[in-house]
Structure 1
Amino acid sequence: MASMGQGWSRGVSGGVLGRAVLLFGSYFGLKMLSGVFLFRYLESSAIWLPGGLALAVLLRAPRHRWPVYLATLFLADYAIVPFYESQPWDLSLVWALGNSLSAVLGAELMRRWLDMPVTLSRPRDVVGLVIAGGLLGPLPSATLGVGVIVLFAPGLGAGSFWRGFLDWFLADGLGAVLVAPLVLSWGPDRAWPRRSWETLELLGSIVLLALVAHVTFGVLAPQGLLLSLPYLCLPFVLWSALRLGPRGAATAALVLAAFAVWHTTTGRGPFGALPGSVQERVLAVQVFLAVASLSTLVLAAMACDRQRVEQSQRVLAEVGAVLAESMDPRDTLPRVARLVVPEVVPGFALWLADEDGRFVPAVRAGMTPEEEARLLVELRGLTEPSRRQLGPEGASVLVRIQHRGRLLGGMALLQAGHTHPLRPRMVSFAEDLAHHCALALENAHLFEQFQAAIHARDEFIAVAAHELRTPLTALQLQMRSLPRLLQQVPASESLLARHQSLARQVSRLGRLVESLLDVGRINTGQLRLEREPVDLGALVRDVVEHLSGELERAGCEVSISAPPHVTGLWDRTRLEQALTNLLGNALKFGAGQPIEVRVEAWGGRTRLLVTDHGIGVSPEALERIFGRFERAVSSREYGGLGLGLFLTRQIAEAHGGSIQAHSAPGGGATFVLELPTSPSAAPYAPLHDAPPWALAPADPHPT
């Protein structure tokens, strides 16, 4: 264990040392590059590039590494060959100290004012950079740098303190505004989503900007309208900001500044041709670059801000779609977490409330168990609907998931490492997300209750049907033995007629009980088929003959059209039940009207059509009538449990077939039962192989 700890320490030390060496080289390289932007007779650079690098490094580095990096910056500023010729060592020491103090001041102020890490993807980040890094940060370096020259080395040509202070201050501030955003936006923390071809788009826009800037600022002695040439660069800079975010804005601003200052130092371009002193030309180009850079950064931040709003709305819409797909929270909540993390926040946790009001963990993403436990403690004490808070784990939002005052659970969104409370917009997002989850949980609870009620109903139906079946069977046996006894009684004809009426009611009651039992079998998946070769035409005639008495009493004449030998592997008993239901439905709603039954066969399929001329079915009820306990008319006018058509559809589908209804109110109805002739036959043939009756809706009044 000791050897592992020593190896880890050496790895960390080696990593810090390597970054320090890289920082040393980068700082010194930018220091030399700033010499390119040196104005003659001023002995002052228009842009101090190393200041922006130092600010960005301290912003990205943890505080415990600041001493190493500050020492590296100080050595790069002081121990290397002085920037100016014949620069005294004491001046170099003071200037290095001032530059280090400026970096510390700017970084510390931005850390206090802004959330870390700084990605420049929010307008407040840009404002903090301008105030802390561009205005307040350069004060120590400009004050010490110019003050020591005025007091101890007036021969270096600083002139007036305020004149030199302004030049130094603008150079340091402009360097911070140009270089720091470039380093911060090209870091690993990225608020702008990656897009395909983004690198090529950035490269193309920068190349075009470089060409336009070189032509614009490289013109010799421009006059008149040519003095407004710098405006030609703005469309390319704005394009980079809108399309590529802070990264594109920072890169474009730095490229624009490089060409503008380079050509201005040599006396070319609109700013190099301005009348007046060198100081005025320097000030003009610095103001132009500051305005252009800040405008592009603000525009990019506003574009990021708007994109975050659109992203939040899109995530909420996707969450709603996911929650609507399933009634099982165990399936939907993890998918919700994957939508939220890391698209909106890096940390998400959700708890469900049990019957005793205790929170049970449901899903966690992007946070440690310790962070979840701390947030759960805070959530238990939450009394208001939502609350923003700061803790050791970062900034978070806690929300109670509740519906109509009933607590369903709780939720937490976490931004690890943030030093400021989350914005109100994030609280609104959390509340909307909690509302979506509350509706889904409430629907799941109601669905569970509904399922339990259905299960209880089905169980009651099954038990009741079984209980009714036993005495009903005994009653049917007794009814069958009564006719022989009644024939021995004088004047038995009237008794026999009453017996027949009573037997019909007992038979009807038996069919109702069997229907209830079939519903129970369907619900439990116990509806089995006993397939055997069945002649459908013969089956139709047998069923019609069996129902002849009821058809005669209803005044319905049945015509049968069935070709011979239409056979298939079907369950005879179930098909008898289905046809009995269809004929019973026809004589009930078409009493006194004829009924047509037609059998047709085509390409491995058989179709049975039952047509009545009764009251018909409304279009909106054509599909509903096949539901369980559903009717198209009031039960007060027509009796029944509403199970006949439901059982018929279940029987058809169990055979691999289907049933449809075609009707119009007052025009009768046609029920089409379609069956494959064998279990392996497809229930539907291709259109080019279909019979003529399959290419058009069935005629409700076949001839």
Structure 2
Amino acid sequence: MASDKQSVPRGPWGEVLGRAVLLCGAYCGLKALSSLFVFPPQENAAVWLPSGLTLAVFLRASRRRWPVYLATVFLTEYFLVLFYGDAWELALSWSLGNCLRTVVGAGLMRRWLNAPVTFSRPREVIALILAGGLLSPLPSATLGVGAVTLFTLPLSPAELWEGWLNWYLSDGLGALLVAPLLLTWSGERSLPRRPWERAELVGALVLLGLVAHVTFGMLSPWGILLSLPYACLPFILWSALRLGPRGAATATGVLGSIAVWHTALGRGPFGVLPATVSERVLSVQVFLSVASMSSLFLAAMARDRWRVERSQRVLAEAGAVFAASMEPRDTLPRVARLLVPELVSGFAVWLVDEQGRWVPAVCVGLTPEQEARLREDVRQLSEPSRRCVRPEGAAVLARIQHQGRVLGGMALVRLGFTHLPRLRAAAFAEDLAHHCALALENARLLADYQAAIHVRDEFITVAAHELRTPLTSLKLQMRSFGRLLQQPATAAPEAVRPRFHSMSRQVERLGRLVEGLLDVGRINTGRLYLERELLDLGELVHDVVEQLSGELERAGCEVSLVLQPCVRGLWDRTRLEQALNHLLGNAAKFGAGHPIELRVEQREDRAYLTVRDQGIGLAPEALERIFGRFERAVSSREYGGLGLGLFLTQRIVEAHEGHIRVTSQPGQGATFVLELPASPRSSSYVPGLAPSPWPTAPADSHPT
């Protein structure tokens, strides 16, 4: 870091004076460089480089500094003219003409554009052509040639016109070549930096320089060789399309320097033209003007198209961010990172809360004072969007609304800009506000849906509990009545016992339905707990089949068991019995009159329970759907049930850190396989395991 003694003077005046000194030095250097582009016997240069310098400085500087810079330009030109031995009248006229040229060019461009000039938009190039190239040289050329006629030697009308035209084109060409070069390299980049960009720029300029040197350095070109200047155009177009306005301005600057230098020495296609010196000067000036403006205009159009594509890409990415999450507090900061500083300098969103207050949701690149002013402006919006200019910069304000209901507002700000944003910016803001409104509405609908689900689950739980109390009493009464029927002293008609058993089965079925509803409520609220203990899976399967023997016999289903011994794990007995009850119940219901096979085995640290029936089977599209809550693969008119059995079974298995899968074909039955984590096997024989009273098949080591 430099010391205080080596730094520039502090304060605004010190900075202005320092820059005025730099302007004076640069003006002198460019005027000396312009003397290399003189076509003898003429005395004025073909390209007046200081005109581009002063135009660039005044376009970049604030208006309150213009008087200091104007005085600098005036005094520098005045004393330089005197230094070269010309009369003070000429010095005064030429200095005044240079100042008027700069004020006209910079003033008109600032008035038309009213924004930093980077030549990244076609309108900026058009403004440069009209103001800097066509209008601003009028006063300087008129005062310059007029002073020569008045104060040195009278000129004939032809000489006056020839001198005025050469002066006019010299000043205009200097503005077209130098101003874009200075403004594009000193301003912000219009494109993100790419890898190898500097190497590409240097390579393009070296190739252009070689081609231009060969083209314009030929001593006596003739015939088709006179059209060789067009060989430089591909390199200029490449620089414009690939490297933007900065590349276009640099390429035309290199081409102009080489072309004017060789032409002034009488070489190249323009230097050997069979014409007067003025015509040679005019030809090279027109060629360079067309090349410069064409490349700049092409680069601006390419950058404008790229800007539109970038806006569309950012809008699509913002839509994807909004769709990725239903929580606006999470998505809005991510959207802000897409916009700032890619498209805008500041971004803010306000949301209307339940009390009607406008609460900031995200604010990036803005001070609290700026955010407060913009929030008040957004609250007063009466249309979907509005373009405005505020002290902090140019802004687009947009309402966030859905079906006429205002949900909030947003502001997109470009700090430092003092002109109204384009209509395209307002359309972008409205599209972004529409995406935000949809995201907010989706979040509200999701919250309402979740609240409705919660209310439903609570209702199911409360209703199941309310049904459980009278059902428990009814079960007790049925058991007491059953014991009375079994006593020898009780004389009951023979028709009573079958009806009693039917009523008992229906009460048991109603009890299972109530327990299923309770389990659904527990699962939805996350209260399905497991009481694990060391169990033998084969023994558990044997017990469940024993409990369901009556139901299986009534369904006409013969059960075969293939139970591998000592398949143990830490499981919840009640929950696994419940899951197996659901699977056997479905097998008996959908495969009535057909056999059922149950298989238990262990491979490494996983236990497998397979339930295979030969019932109606399942369609392929129903294999995943049947595990949903209240989902059914067949019509409820043909087969009863609430569609909770497989849903509860899957949740119970997953609670045990296991998996369930099903394979089936219509008319060929279904096979359900439960995979559970098992304990390491310590013995192949389980003491006390009673032989199964059901038909069995030989043990197999692989589930089917």
Q: Deviations over 1:55-90 (max 9, x none)?
A: 11111112222223223323332334757x422233
Alignment match, 2:645: 644
How far off its partner does 1:270 sit?
A: 0.3
Q: What is the CA–CA distance in structure 2 between the aligned matches of 1:595 and 1:381, rounded to whole Å? A: 73
Q: CA deviation at 1:157?
A: 10
Deviation at 1:259, TM superposition (A): 0.3
After superposition, the Cα gap between the structure-2 partners of 1:651 and 1:138, relative to the gap in structure 1 and judged at 3 Å, is same
Structure 1: gaps of 5 or more residues: 1-6, 680-700
Q: Report what 1:74 is aligned to.
A: 74
> What displacement does 1:235 show?
0.3
Output the CA distance in 2 between the equivalents of 1:48 and 1:298.
22
Is 1:575 paired with 2:576?
yes
Q: Which runs of 5+ in 2 are unaligned?
A: 1-6, 681-701
Q: What SS does the corresponding residue of 2:289 show, helix, strand or coil?
A: helix
Residues 151-177 of structure 1 deviation map (CA, whole Å, 9 limit, x = unaligned): 111279997332221111111111111
Q: 1:673 Cα deviation (Å)? A: 1.0
Contact 2:345–2:414 at 8 Å: present in 1 too? yes
Deviation sequence 1:495-542 (CA, Å, 0-9, x none): 333222222222222222222222222223222222222111111111
Look up the match of 2:464.
Answer: 465
How far apart in 1 are the matches of 2:464 and 2:554?
28
Instruction: Measure how far apart 1:551 and its partner are.
Output: 1.2
Aligned match of 2:686: none
2:10 counterpart SS class: helix
Give the equivalent residue in structure 2 for 1:452.
451
The separation in 2 between residues aligned to 1:75 and 1:192, in whole angstroms, is 39
Distance 1:317 1:270 in 2: 52
Matching residue of 1:29:
29
Other-structure match for 2:163: 164
In 2, Cα distance between the equivalents of 1:75 and 1:243?
41
Q: Counterparts of 1:13 and 1:648 in 2: how far apart (Å)?
A: 83
Correspondence list, 1:182-193, <5 A: 182-193=181-192
Amino acid aligned to 1:112:
R
The 5 A counterparts of 1:109-508 are 109-154=108-153, 160-355=159-354, 358-486=357-485, 487=487, 488-491=489-492, 493-508=494-509
Which residue identity lines up with residue 381 of structure 1 in the other structure? Q
282-291 vs 389-398, which moves further? 389-398
Q: Distance in 2 between matches of 1:597 and 1:115?
A: 84
8 Å contact kept, 2:557–2:588: yes
2:402 and 2:391 map into 1 onto residues whose CA distance is 31
The CA deviation at 1:12 is 3.8
Q: How far does the alpha carbon of each residue in 1:74-130 deviate from its partner, in whole angstroms, 9 at most, with x for none?
A: 3332334757x4222332232122212211221111111014111100000000111
Once residues 421 and 251 of structure 2 are traced to their aligned partners in structure 1, the CA distance between those partners, rounded to angstroms, is: 31
Distance 1:386 1:332 in 2: 22
Contact 1:619 1:663 in 2 (8 A): yes
The offset of 1:563, in angstroms, is 1.2
Counterpart in the other structure of 2:635: 634
Task: State the partner residue of 2:61.
Answer: 61
The answer as to whether partners of 1:616 and 1:668 remain within 8 angstroms in 2 is yes
- Displacement of 1:480 after TM fit? 2.0
User: 1:414, CA displacement in angstroms?
Assistant: 2.1
- What letter corresponds to residue 496 of structure 2 in structure 1? L
Paired residue type of 2:292:
S
Could you tell me whether the CA contact under 8 Å between 1:340 and 1:348 is conserved in 2? yes
Contact 1:42-1:157 within 8 A present in 2 as well: no
Residue 114 of structure 1 contacts residue 419 of structure 1 at CA under 8 Å; is this kept in 2? no
Q: Which one is further off, 615-624 or 488-497?
A: 488-497
- Deviation (angstroms), 1:398: 2.4
Distance 1:459 1:236, change over 3 A: same
Write the letter of the residue equivalent to 1:73.
V
Equivalent runs, 1:469-618 vs 2, <5 Å? 469-486=468-485, 487=487, 488-491=489-492, 493-618=494-619
What secondary structure sits across from 1:79 in the alignment?
A: helix
One-letter amino acid of the counterpart of residue 592, structure 1: G
The amino acid of 2:552's aligned partner reads L
Query: TM-score if structure 1 supplies the norm length?
Result: 0.92
Q: Which residue of structure 2 aligns with residue 697 of structure 1?
A: none
CA distance in 1, matches of 2:155, 2:368: 62
Closer/same/farther in 2, CA of residues 81 and 161 from structure 1, 3 Å limit? closer
Superposition deviation, residue 23 in structure 1: 2.2
TM-superposed deviation, 1:358:
4.7
State the AA in 1 paired with 2:72.
T
Alignment root-mean-square deviation, CA: 2.2
- TM-score with structure 2 length normalisation? 0.92
Are residues 1:622 and 2:623 paired?
yes
Q: CA 1:441–1:182 in structure 2 vs 1: closer, same or farther (change >3 Å)? A: same
Deviation at 1:589, TM superposition (A): 1.9
Deviation of 1:8 after TM superposition, in Å, equals 12
Aligned residue for 1:186, secondary structure, equals: helix
- Judge conservation of contact 2:8–2:15 (CA < 8 Å) in 1: no
Which residue identity is paired with 2:222?
Answer: Q
Task: Give, as a single letter, the amino acid of the residue that structure 2 aligns with 1:123.
Answer: P
Letter in 2 for 1:367: L
Q: Distance in 2 between matches of 1:351 and 1:564?
A: 67
CA distance in 1, matches of 2:376, 2:555: 74
Q: What amino acid does structure 2 have at the position aligned with 1:512?
A: L
Cα distance in 1 for partners of 2:563, 2:157 equals 116
What is the SS of the residue equivalent to 2:495?
helix
Aligned partners of 1:419, 1:244: CA distance in 2, in Å? 27
Alpha carbons of structure 1 residues 587 and 76: separation in structure 2 relative to 1, 3 Å: farther
2:49 counterpart of 1:49? yes
Distance in 2 between residues matched to 1:311 and 1:115, nearest whole Å: 24
Letter aligned with residue 482 of structure 1: F
Amino acid at match of 1:71: A
Q: Note the C-alpha offset of 1:360.
A: 2.8
d(CA) in 2 for partners of 1:315, 1:116: 23
Letter in 1 for 2:514: V
Going from structure 1 to structure 2, the CA distance change for 1:256 and 1:9 (only over 3 Å counts) comes to closer
TM-fit CA distance, 1:380: 2.6
C-alpha distance after superposition, 1:242-263 (max 9, x if no partner): 0000000000010000000000
How far off its partner does 1:133 sit? 1.0
Q: In structure 1, give the amino acid aligned to 2:442.
A: N
Q: Is the 8 A contact 2:104 2:136 kept in 1?
A: yes
Q: CA deviation at 1:419?
A: 3.4
Q: Determine if contact 2:620/2:665 at 8 Å carries over to the other structure.
A: yes
**1:534-579 deviation digits (Å, cap 9, x = unpaired):** 1111111111111111111222222111211111222222111111
For the Cα contact (< 8 Å) 2:352–2:407, is it kept in 1?
yes
Deviation at 1:702, TM superposition (A): 8.4
Name the aligned partner's letter for residue 50 of structure 2: P
**Structure 2: distance between partners of 1:183 and 1:367:** 30
Asked whether the 8 Å contact 1:94–1:144 carries over to 2, the reply is yes
CA distance in structure 1 between the partners assigned to 2:502 and 2:162 by the alignment? 121
Q: Who is 2:666 aligned against? A: 665
CA 1:228 to 1:148, structure 2 compared with 1: closer, same or farther past 3 Å? same
Maintained 8 Å contact 2:650/2:660? yes
SS in 2 for 1:143: helix
